A and B are shown apart, each in its own frame.
Chain A
Amino acid sequence: MTILTRRALIGSTLATGALLAAPMLRAQSVPRVVVIGGGAGGATVARYIAKDSAGAVDVTLVNATPTYHTCFFSNLYLGGFREAQSLEHSYDTLAAEYGITVAIDMAVGVDRDAKTVTLASGAVLPYDRLILSPGIDFVEGSVEGWSVANEAVMPHAYKGGAQVELLKAQIMAMPQGGVFAMVAPPNPYRCPPGPYERISMVAHMLRAGNPTAKILLVDPKETFSKQALFEETWAAAYPGMIERVGPDMGGNVVAVDPAAMTVSIDGDVTKVDVCNVIPGQMAGAIAGLAGITDGNWAPVSAFDMASRIDPDIHVLGDAAAQGDMPKSGFSANSQAKVCANAVRGALTGSTVFPARYANTCWSLLDDDNGVKVGATYEATEEKIASVEGFVSQPGEDAATRKATYEESLGWYDAITSDMFG
């Protein structure tokens, strides 16, 4: 286990003071929170608990890699609007300024009776509350012919970092007039407009450097998020480039052959140059290992994101089955703040305010052409329930679309500050 924090050596100011005063008391009495997964849910909840408890709660954040690559905005990298480095974030500030113990490691097991987490390195972390924010994994067999073992040939690029960079390299290497294919995922999945923003961004790249290329979108769903907005711009800005095959035309009977680089749609085989397979999704593996999933996802209470199977475990973001919120970074960040407030209250007696949630998903369609969809949500016994929503409208003027795009840039800076300090 690699520990990034300096706390073990010199401690944060507050923790050091407590140690000098009463080391045994502190060791026995400071409640421990372990957070697994350092993305929009995990990094935010770790930061808020550490910040607001000011040393009264011991927070350990476990993430598999020392650098986090946001999946949100990775489409803008594919479209040529962002550099890859602009999507990279480190945990250094969380360790140095918030006193969070950052463990670069993989969680491989949870013992709910002993209340411990086992890491790949063999380290065992005891917890009073465990917060899982592991994102997604892929359902094996979801797309016939594809498995995670094929991701180097047919990338999913649906987790940030190397996979996205691989997909971009493949797009850039396409022959003139070549075919980019995407197999879109079935519901529910991470970032509902994400596949369609990606189609827009790939079209944006191809229009500039490979204008005779074609995009084949194979989709098992009848409809998709912000469909009218996407299709309006596809027709106007990328005419003749994008073909969507929905379930009425066999888009739900799809198989791929990574060796032959072909896509079969209801038995009709097409040779393609790039094939982006975004498979069916499920909660990150640790949720299943902890035994708190029901089907593919982990059901939670809407009031504090606590698992309905084990109330000492909370689940945030994509992995949670919570109700009406889409699986998005914004949602995970919103849920993390409700969870942090509830967990800190349970462990330290601090005031717990009522849960409230919000989400907005921006998508970029073309240069200075951004759209958004969002809603507010409330906690009910049954689920997180939507209260009121909004969505950009077809035919909006260019100034509105530009302002919406610029708003998304501001959001990216703000949410990453909110996550990583």
Chain B
Amino acid sequence: MLQTLPFFGILALWALPAVSEEASGPVGEPWAGRAGFAEHCMQCHDISPEAAHLVGPALSGVVARGVAATPDYDYSDAFVALRGAGVWDSDRLHRFLTNPTTDIPGTSMHFDGLPDAGQRADLIAYLAAAPDLPPPVMSMSRVPDAVLAMQGDVAYGEYLSSECVGCHQLSGQTGGVPSITGWPTGPFIVAMFDYRAKDRDNVTMQTLAARLSDEEIAALAAYFETVR
């Protein structure tokens, strides 16, 4: 528990102005971390009070919880092997979030990590403070409810996906290009709307999304949700 003490010190201070840096690294700013969560995490993780497991486990209350200890989540073998061996304190989260696949080889979390210690500290501060903050907002664009409710044509989505898998590996492997397999349809549709509106960076994705209709986005979302 000694390791966790400085971390909880930071947590207690997050809302106060002008805190000094601890030896363990920069002090996180939870509002910035909330934006980081929206950008990097919420495609696959729910952190609301009644969070459900999505592609990844629910993250409400993850800070100080045991590793691989969230009930009813089907962890990868790599995580199961670590069960009981530690808790998600600040140091442990920093290590994991720097590069998940080198920290826990074999994890099915396809995320390249946050090399910037400040961004990690922000995110960790948010994970701890999430119950006290408004829910993260994934998107600047407004997706009509009718589109979110659309039943996408999986067969058409599979054909359209051939334009995606030239860069995004169907295996879910990542590295330079993010994984897009197994996403729930909602976040997938929101991401594509954001690219289409050029609210999300990456000119390649903006250009590809520009000519996708609502039905085509829904078809892609429906197809990629089936790819696990």
Q: Are B204 and A414 in contact (CB under 8 A)?
A: no
- Which of under 10, 10 to 19, 20 to 34, or 35 or more describes the interface residues of A? 20 to 34
Taking the complex as formed, is B165 at the interface, i.e. its CB lies under 8 A from any CB of chain A? yes
**CB within 8 Å of A: which of B153-185?**
155-156, 159-160, 162-163, 165-171, 173-177
Q: Are A390 and B204 in contact (CB under 8 A)?
A: yes
Q: Give bound CA distance, A88 to B140, whole Å.
A: 43
Stretch among A55-63, A202-210, A249-257, A333-341 lining the B interface: A333-341
User: Which residue of chain A lies nearest to B179 when distances are taken between CB atoms in the complex?
Assistant: A410
Q: Are B208 and A376 in contact (CB under 8 A)?
A: yes
Q: Are B163 and A358 in contact (CB under 8 A)?
A: yes
**Distance from B206 Cβ to chain A, minimum over Cβ atoms (Å):** 7
**B-side interface residues, number (CB < 8 Å):** 25
Residues of chain B within 8 A of A409, CB atoms compared: 175-176
User: Which residue of chain A lies nearest to B177 when distances are taken between CB atoms in the complex?
Assistant: A410
**Distance from B207 Cβ to chain A, minimum over Cβ atoms (Å):** 5
Residues of chain B within 8 A of A405, CB atoms compared: 176
Q: Are B169 and A414 in contact (CB under 8 A)?
A: yes
Which one of B156, B176, B206, B207 contacts A410 once the chains associate, using CB atoms below 8 Å? B176
Residues of chain B within 8 A of A310, CB atoms compared: none
User: Which residue of chain B lies nearest to A415 when distances are taken between CB atoms in the complex?
Assistant: B166
Q: Are B177 and A414 in contact (CB under 8 A)?
A: yes
Which one of A353, A360, A387 contacts B159 once the chains associate, using CB atoms below 8 Å? A353
Taking the complex as formed, is B203 at the interface, i.e. its CB lies under 8 A from any CB of chain A? yes
Q: Are B174 and A410 in contact (CB under 8 A)?
A: yes
Q: Are B163 and A417 in contact (CB under 8 A)?
A: no
Residues of B contacting A: mostly: loop
Indicate whether A390 sits within 8 Å of B206 (C-beta atoms), given known contacts A334-B163, A407-B176.
yes
**Distance from B2 Cβ to chain A, minimum over Cβ atoms (Å):** 36
**CB within 8 Å of B: which of A81-138?**
none
Taking the complex as formed, is B80 at the interface, i.e. its CB lies under 8 A from any CB of chain A? no
Q: Give bound CA distance, A418 to B203, whole Å.
A: 22
**Distance from A48 Cβ to chain B, minimum over Cβ atoms (Å):** 7
Q: Are B207 and A374 in contact (CB under 8 A)?
A: yes
Residues of chain B within 8 A of A337, CB atoms compared: 162-163
Q: Are A417 and B171 in contact (CB under 8 A)?
A: yes
Q: Give bound CA distance, A392 to B203, whole Å.
A: 8
Q: Are B166 and A407 in contact (CB under 8 A)?
A: no
Which one of B160, B166, B170, B208 contacts A411 once the chains associate, using CB atoms below 8 Å? B166
Residues of chain A within 8 A of B227, CB atoms compared: none
User: Which residue of chain B lies nearest to A52 when distances are taken between CB atoms in the complex?
Assistant: B158
Interface string of A367-411 (1 = CB under 8 A from B): 000001011100000000001111010000000000101111111
Q: Are B170 and A388 in contact (CB under 8 A)?
A: no
**CB within 8 Å of A: which of B202-216?**
203-204, 206-208, 210-211
Taking the complex as formed, is A2 at the interface, i.e. its CB lies under 8 A from any CB of chain B? no
Interface string of A334-364 (1 = CB under 8 A from B): 1001000100000000010100101010000
Indicate whether A351 sits within 8 Å of B155 (C-beta atoms), given known contacts A330-B166, A410-B175, A413-B169.
yes
Q: Give bound CA distance, A415 to B170, whole Å.
A: 10
Residues of A contacting B: mostly: helix
Q: Give bound CA distance, A405 to B203, whole Å.
A: 14
**Distance from B203 Cβ to chain A, minimum over Cβ atoms (Å):** 4
Q: Give bound CA distance, A387 to B156, whole Å.
A: 21
Q: Are A408 and B176 in contact (CB under 8 A)?
A: yes
Q: Are A415 and B159 in contact (CB under 8 A)?
A: no
Q: Are A389 and B207 in contact (CB under 8 A)?
A: yes
Which one of A353, A374, A390, A392 contacts B156 once the chains associate, using CB atoms below 8 Å? A353
Q: Are A375 and B176 in contact (CB under 8 A)?
A: no
Residues of chain A within 8 A of B207, CB atoms compared: 358, 374-376, 388-390
Q: Are B155 and A413 in contact (CB under 8 A)?
A: no
**Distance from A371 Cβ to chain B, minimum over Cβ atoms (Å):** 11
Indicate whether A406 sits within 8 Å of B206 (C-beta atoms), given known contacts A337-B162, A388-B211, A414-B167.
no
User: Which residue of chain B lies nearest to A372 when distances are taken between CB atoms in the complex?
Assistant: B204
Indicate whether A414 sits within 8 Å of B163 (C-beta atoms), given known contacts A353-B156, A387-B211, A390-B207.
no
**Distance from B152 Cβ to chain A, minimum over Cβ atoms (Å):** 14
Residues of chain B within 8 A of A390, CB atoms compared: 203-204, 206-207
Which one of A333, A374, A406, A418 contacts B204 once the chains associate, using CB atoms below 8 Å? A374
Residues of chain A within 8 A of B165, CB atoms compared: 414, 417-418
Q: Give bound CA distance, A408 to B208, whole Å.
A: 16
Best-buried of B160, B176, B211 by chain A (most CB within 10 Å) = B176
User: Which residue of chain B lies nearest to A412 when distances are taken between CB atoms in the complex?
Assistant: B176
Which one of B156, B168, B208, B210 contacts A414 once the chains associate, using CB atoms below 8 Å? B168
Q: Are A406 and B156 in contact (CB under 8 A)?
A: no
Q: Are B166 and A414 in contact (CB under 8 A)?
A: yes
Q: Give bound CA distance, A372 to B168, whole Å.
A: 17
Q: Give bound CA distance, A375 to B208, whole Å.
A: 8
Q: Give bound CA distance, A351 to B157, whole Å.
A: 13
Best-buried of B160, B167, B169, B173 by chain A (most CB within 10 Å) = B167
Listed A/B pairs (27) with beta-carbon separation below 8 Å? A333-B166, A334-B166, A341-B159, A353-B156, A353-B159, A356-B160, A356-B211, A358-B207, A358-B208, A374-B207, A376-B208, A376-B210, A387-B211, A388-B211, A390-B203, A390-B207, A403-B176, A406-B176, A407-B177, A408-B176, A409-B175, A410-B167, A410-B175, A413-B175, A414-B165, A414-B167, A414-B169
Extra contacts, 9 of them, besides A353-B156, A372-B204 (Cβ < 8 A), are A330-B166, A334-B163, A358-B163, A360-B204, A374-B203, A388-B211, A392-B203, A415-B167, A418-B165
Residues of chain A touching chain B, judged by Cβ–Cβ distance below 8 Å, are 48, 330, 333-334, 337, 341, 351, 353, 356, 358, 360, 372, 374-376, 387-390, 392, 403, 405-411, 413-415, 417-418
Q: List 9 A-B pairs, minimum CB-CB distance, nearest first.
A: A410-B177, A410-B176, A406-B176, A337-B162, A390-B203, A409-B176, A353-B159, A414-B169, A411-B167
